[in-house]
């Protein structure tokens, strides 16, 4: 069979390239399980295998996670995450193609609001976390937190 004429392959071809997803969700139970249960390390190991990179922030029971990688790998993990009962109200803030990775040093970096607070940072920076501005502000905060966490 000639792969060029396989419609699925053509779709793959059209949708390949770097993608990212940024979402917000509510942890069930409180998000501290992520670190305490060792799940963070397991998820990070899976991300490494799939060449996914990104950063997750937990603050007062709310998660913000940014994941980036090849379209197929992002689609798979995004599907699993949306159906994961350990959080609810999974709300995508931004999905789409990206020119470059923002978190190439992190398979799954983590920050807790007790250490660096998104809300305090946004207030200090004069940024709104409401409506359409949320994705941009959260993305900028995650980059800041990822840099600070590396030190
Ligand atoms: C807040 C949250 C973040 C998650 N992040 C990731 C992740 O970055 N990578 C990953 O492989 N799984 C992540 N998971 C777990 C997935 O939802 C899923 O359980 C895991 O990928 C195993 O999928 P499978 O059961 O389909 O094999 C996350 C789950 C939650 C609740």
Work out the average pLDDT over 107-134: 94
The answer to whether residue 64 sits within a structural domain is yes
Share of the chain above pLDDT 70, in %: 86
The answer to whether residue 2 sits within a structural domain is no
Domain extent, residue 52, equals 16-150
- Tell me which of 7 and 31 has the higher pLDDT: 31
The answer to whether residue 5 sits within a structural domain is no
CA distances for 82 relative to 25, 65, 79, angstroms: 9, 12, 5
Cα(27) to centroid of ligand 1, in Å?
13
Distance CA(112)–CA(120), nearest Å, equals 13
Give yes or no for residue 10 having a pLDDT over 60.
Answer: no
Cα(100) to centroid of ligand 1, in Å?
23
Distance CA(61)–CA(28), nearest Å, equals 8
Closest residue by Cα to atom 28, ligand 1, is 81
CA distances for 72 relative to 29, 61, 79, 108, angstroms: 29, 29, 11, 18
Closest residue by Cα to atom 22, ligand 1, is 80
Neighbour-count burial of 141, counting CB atoms closer than 10 A to its CB (0-12 exposed, 13-18 middle, 19+ buried): buried
What is the pTM for the complete model shown?
A: 0.88
Closest residue by Cα to atom 20, ligand 1, is 80
Closest residue by Cα to atom 10, ligand 1, is 43
Give yes or no for residue 45 having a pLDDT over 80.
Answer: yes
pLDDT at 16: 66
Number of domains present in the structure of the chain: 1
Helices (H), 83-150: 118-125, 133-150
CATH (domain of 20): 3.30.70.100
Which structure tokens are listed for 148? 């600070």
The answer to whether residue 76 sits within a structural domain is yes
Cα(150) to centroid of ligand 1, in Å?
23
């Amino acid at each position: 069979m000639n792969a060029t004429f396989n419609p699925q392959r053509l779709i793959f071809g059209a949708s390949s390239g770097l993608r990212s997803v940024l979402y917000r969700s509510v942890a069930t139970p409180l998000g501290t399980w992520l670190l305490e249960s060792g799940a963070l390390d397991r998820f990070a190991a899976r991300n490494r295998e799939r060449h996914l990179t990104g950063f997750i922030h937990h603050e007062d029971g709310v998660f913000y996670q940014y994941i980036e990688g090849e379209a197929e790998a992002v689609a798979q993990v995004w599907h699993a995450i949306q159906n994961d009962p350990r959080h609810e109200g999974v709300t995508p803030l931004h999905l789409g193609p990206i020119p470059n990775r923002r978190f190439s040093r992190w398979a799954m970096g983590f920050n807790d609001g007790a250490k660096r607070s998104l809300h305090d940072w946004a207030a200090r920076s004069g940024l709104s976390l409401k409506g359409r501005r949320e994705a941009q502000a959260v993305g900028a905060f995650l980059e800041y937190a990822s840099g600070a966490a590396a030190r």
